[in-house]
Amino acid sequence: MIRLSRLQTKVIERIAATIPLALAVALAAFVLMRAIPGDPVDIMMGEGASSSGEEVAALRTQLGLDQPIHRQLSSYLRGLFRGDLGYSITRSRPVAEMIREALPATIELAVFAMLTALALGIPLGVVSALKHNTAFDRVSTAVSFIGVSLPPFWLGIVGILVFSMTLGWMPTSGRIPYGLEPRHVTGFLTLDALLTGNMPALGSALRHLCLPATTLGLGVAAVVARVTRSSMLDVLGSDYVLFARAKGVPESAVTIRHALRNAMIPTVTLVGLQFGSLLGGNMIVETIFGWPGLGRVVVDAIFARDYPVVQASVMVYALTFVVVNLITDLIYTVLDPKVALH
């Protein structure tokens, strides 16, 4: 008989708990989409739909929209249990195929946005804590407040106007120019370019990522800087840090080995929550930059009342958020073994 460790048991329990969550999210998405005013058939057929009753009725029957709501819900749930996310009403394609194509672009953008946030926020927070109550600390705190306050859509528009249209340094939209795509391996352009040794494609992909990733990452960087600063100030005043300094441990070792590791525990929790938010909250940024990710697919589907696409995408977002938080909890236990996964 296989004996599982306590950590493995907790992980299995957390994964099992996602099943009712997925069902609840699926039900909520189903109900909310049908509560939105507008009919997908009328949107598909345009203004002339009201004058062609037979054609409208035939299309509604073809899409299954003539069925009672409870039968539509039953058919939708049966499809989910079979792993069938349905067909797009407007694009006549399997929804799973559309998500599989768009999700890597969204994940890649979120990863680079988070890397940008960490590269800016953690050093800024650490230095601010080490230079507490100095001019640098006051300026960095003010910059953090401004960064939290600025909306991403405004930053995106300003970035396009300045760095793309005025200076011409960055592309205005898209993920990579047509014809320059690396051979498909994973769907992540930067990784595919590295794996296939296509350096021109890698450079172009990074240039296209720069503006949208920075737009998404600046707000998160401000939050990370504030949390890191606060955590570092608490840790720097603790007894074990004072004892390490009294023993003559070099200040760099005190900061990195003793203070920063313990100060990172709240930051890791924040990063997990923010990364989930980046995955699900980048719809506006993807639309502004013409980024072919899942967020843009969802926005187009909402306007077209494409029920299957929105329902499946919302569930994918929810499950991704759960997985990210599970990984965050696992990292949390590594940084602080006294904390149990719950």
Whether pLDDT at 22 is above 70: yes
Confidence grade of residue 264 (pLDDT, cut at 50, 70, 90): confident
Mean of pLDDT values over 71-93: 82
- Residues near 11 by Cβ (< 8 Å), separated by ≥ 6? 326, 330, 341
Higher-pLDDT residue of 325 and 207 is 207
Q: Could you read off the pLDDT of 116-125 as tens digits, one per residue?
A: 999 999 999 8
If you average pLDDT over residues 236-240, what whole number do you get?
Answer: 74
pLDDT at 270 exceeding the cut of 90:
no
Examine the pLDDT at 342 and tell me if it is beyond 60.
Answer: no
- Residues whose CB falls within 8 Å of the CB of residue 290, separated by 6 or more in sequence, listed in order: 172, 173, 174, 296
User: What are the tens digits of pLDDT across the range 294-304?
Assistant: 888 888 888 88
Report pLDDT for 117.
Answer: 92
For the domain made up of 101-335, the CATH class stated in words is: mainly alpha
In sequence order, what DSSP letters do the residues of 124-186 get, joined into one string?
Answer: HHHHHHHTTTSHHHHHHHHHHHHHHHS-HHHHHHHHIIIIIIIS--S-SS-SS-TT-PPPPSS
Portions of the chain given CATH number 1.10.3720.10: 101-335
Task: Please give the pLDDT value at position 93.
Answer: 86
What distances in angstroms separate CA 149 from CA 155, 210, 253, one per listed residue? 11, 21, 35
335 has a pLDDT exceeding 70: no
Global pTM value? 0.81
Q: What is the pLDDT of residues 131-149, one digit of tens each?
A: 888 888 889 888 888 888 8
Taking only the tens place, the pLDDT of each residue in 281-323 is 788 888 899 889 888 888 888 888 888 888 888 888 888 887 8
Mean pLDDT over 91-116 rounds to 90
List the structure tokens of 138.
């006051």
Collapsing DSSP to helix, strand or coil, 86 comes out as: coil
